[in-house]
């Protein structure tokens, strides 16, 4: 057999993980709006899964700040105010990413850099197609790769609880169609700096890059 690349990769995710991903995405993309009620029995029936793993998924999403559950009363999609994004989420993200990139910098392999380059390519394609979701996901995935390479477990864990909110914000407010193309451009500069491996330069570009989020 020459290559198995035409065969599908079989997901190892649990059913619960698949529910998390689907619900998270629906919230990030705005299909579910702040204030919308999420009723376990309804979602369970709709998604063909029993209530147990669905509940588990919802507990995770609550810890990600995407939903708020009131015991015995119901669950609603959470509001994420622009002020909290600007004053809380973005600064926290800066703290996390600056720390992680400092750690990842000397550990990045050629394969890592190639993967980052691949995300930029995918970002460009998504932008050209006007695919906001694609841009958001590749944008954040670029950063997540750096967080993973840092091998600082708490830092990555916190980043992952913050990231869904950041993605929701990007979907809602941060990108306009005419500016999608600029997103990949910003990542070019960051990748070039990563290649040069000068910590101060990388840090400065990273800060500018993330703070740009607020100017979009």
> C-beta of 42: minimal distance to DNA in Å?
7
- Per-residue contact track with a second copy, 152 to 171, x per CB under 8 A? xxxx-xx--xx--x------
Long-range own/partner contacts, residues 20-23 (CB < 8 A, 24 or more apart): 20/57, 20/60, 20/61, 22/47, 23/57, 23/58, 23/61, 23/66
Q: Which does 45 bind (CB under 5 to 8 A by kind): a second copy, DNA, none?
A: none
In angstroms, give the least distance from the CB of 100 to a second copy.
9
Q: Are 211 and 120 in contact (CB under 8 A)?
A: no
Give residue for tokens 């830092």: 155
Nearest Cα to Cα of residue 19 among 45, 71, 67, 58: 58
Half-sphere exposure of 136 (CA within 13 A, CB side): 21
According to the binding rule CB under 8 A, does residue 89 interact with a second copy?
Answer: yes
List of residues contacting DNA (CB under 7 A): 12, 14-16, 37-41, 49-53, 55-56, 69, 71-75
The SS3 of residue 67 is strand
Picked from a second copy, DNA, none, the partner binding residue 74 (CB below 5 to 8 A depending on kind) is DNA
Residues that bind a second copy (CB under 8 A): 12, 14, 52, 55-56, 59-60, 63-65, 68, 71, 78-81, 83-84, 87-89, 91-92, 95-96, 99, 152-155, 157-158, 161-162, 165
């Amino acid at each position: 057999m020459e290559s198995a690349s035409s065969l599908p990769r079989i997901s190892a995710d649990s059913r619960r993980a698949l529910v998390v991903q689907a619900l998270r995405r629906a919230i990030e993309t705005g299909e579910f709006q702040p204030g919308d009620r999420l009723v376990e029995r309804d979602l369970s029936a709709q998604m063909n899964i029993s209530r147990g793993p669905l509940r588990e998924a919802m507990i995770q999403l609550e810890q990600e700040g995407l939903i708020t559950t009131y015991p015995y009363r119901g669950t609603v999609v959470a509001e994420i105010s622009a002020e909290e994004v600007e004053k809380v989420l973005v600064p926290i993200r800066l703290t996390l990413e600056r720390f992680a990139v400092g750690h990842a910098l000397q550990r990045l392999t050629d394969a890592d850099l190639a993967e980052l380059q691949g995300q930029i390519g995918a970002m460009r394609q998504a932008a050209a197609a006007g695919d906001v979701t694609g841009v958001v996901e590749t944008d954040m995935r670029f950063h997540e790769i750096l967080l993973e390479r840092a091998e600082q477990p708490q830092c990555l864990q916190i980043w992952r609880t913050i990231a869904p909110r950041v993605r929701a914000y990007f979907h809602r407010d941060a990108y306009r169609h005419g500016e999608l193309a600029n997103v990949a451009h910003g990542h070019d500069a960051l990748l070039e700096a990563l290649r040069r491996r000068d910590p101060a330069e990388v840090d400065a570009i990273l800060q500018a890059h993330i703070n740009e989020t607020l100017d979009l």
